[in-house]
Amino acid sequence: MIDVQNLPDDRGVPIQKVGVKGVRAPITLRDRVNAVQHTTARVNLYADLPKHFKGTHMSRFIEVFNAHRERLSMQGFLAMLGELRKALDARTAYADLHFPYFIEKAAPVSGQKSWSAYDCSYMGKVWDGGREFDVAVSVPVQTLCPCSKAISEHGAHNQRGIVTLTVALGPFFWIEDLVSLVEESASSPVYTLVKREDEKYLTEHAYENPRFVEDVVREVHSRVLALAKFPKFSVEAENFESIHDHSAYAWLEHRSPDVGAGADESKGPGL
């Protein structure tokens, strides 16, 4: 049959990104405790389209992704992008995967166990002679307002927030470690299952550790910087305020001076 996509196009206009968006599929990741974790991803796959091609081959995006979806470690993710470039005769291939990652956590006093879900993303691109790869983790936390504590005779307002830490390709790490780092930077973690003794502990712990969103992003920044692992990272915090009808927000980014020098591909995130 005729390959319509490969027919010449006489307009001379290259397209930066073409592909498939919103693909939903089961994937397999590395898990620190259980070796592997099965979850579901929403996937976007793209490549550039040279000016002399009429269209891309959409089915090839899915074929390449299906060949890699059961081994989506960092190496597998980058290998998938390399295959996309080859299969589509493209200079650059892009992908972003969005998925929940589940961690079993024990409540701080009762020890009751429950599963917490963390929204995560892989984001990357591969081109001739280069690659980019980022991992983002969104962590729900509790924050207690330092101002409210300072000016109130009884108690202080607190709220749930979301902190998103995005790290660039660097040495080996586990998502679980990033989650713990973020939780330790807030007033207190949150849990799916708590008993009364846990509620008492978490309430009092948050009261003793008040945090503005500014405090949270600075604390995460300091802790990530101390690891000396990541050439680039950003921290975003949003508090869903309990006494305001808006959120409080802060964001910062850090780039090492040698951020453009690349990193060792063999040592990637533990997923």
Q: Is residue 171 a part of any domain in this protein? A: yes
Res. 4: pLDDT tops 90: no
- As a whole number, the mean pLDDT across the chain is 90
* pLDDT at site 63: 95
Res. 59: pLDDT tops 60: yes
pLDDT digits (tens, 9 = 90+) for 250-265: 999 999 877 654 444 4
Q: Is residue 210 a part of any domain in this protein? A: yes
Range of the domain at 222: 137-263
Could you give the C-alpha distances from 256 to 125, 238, 262, in angstroms and in order? Answer: 20, 25, 11
- Residue 75 binned pLDDT confidence (cut-offs 50, 70, 90): confident
Same domain, 240 and 167: yes
Tokens 């915090």 belong to which residue? 237
Say if pTM beats, i.e. exceeds, 0.85: yes
* pLDDT at site 266: 39
Same domain, 78 and 194: no
pLDDT digits (tens, 9 = 90+) for 142-199: 999 999 999 999 999 999 999 999 999 777 889 999 999 999 999 999 999 999 999 9
Res. 114: pLDDT tops 90: yes
Contacts of residue 145, Cβ cutoff 8 Å, sequence gap at least 6:
156, 157, 158, 159, 210, 212
Same domain, 102 and 141: no
Closest CA to 158 of 166, 147, 172, 167: 147
- The answer to whether 187 and 142 have CB atoms below 8 angstroms apart is yes
Same domain, 87 and 165: no
* pLDDT at site 175: 93
Instruction: Quote the number of domains for the chain.
Output: 2
Calpha distance 236→176 (Å, rounded):
18
Using alpha carbons only, give the angle 222, 224, 230 rounded to the nearest 5 degrees.
135
Calpha distance 267→182 (Å, rounded):
22
Task: For residue 158, give the CATH number of its domain.
Answer: 3.10.270.10
Name which residue leads in pLDDT, 242 or 74: 242
Q: Is residue 27 a part of any domain in this protein? A: yes
- The answer to whether 65 and 45 have CB atoms below 8 angstroms apart is yes
- Residue 50 binned pLDDT confidence (cut-offs 50, 70, 90): confident
Name which residue leads in pLDDT, 257 or 2: 257
Q: Is residue 177 a part of any domain in this protein? A: yes
- The answer to whether 37 and 45 have CB atoms below 8 angstroms apart is no
> What percentage of the chain has pLDDT greater than the value 70?
90
- Which two structure tokens, joined as six digits, stand for 123? 């984001």
Res. 206: pLDDT tops 90: yes
Q: Is residue 159 a part of any domain in this protein? A: yes
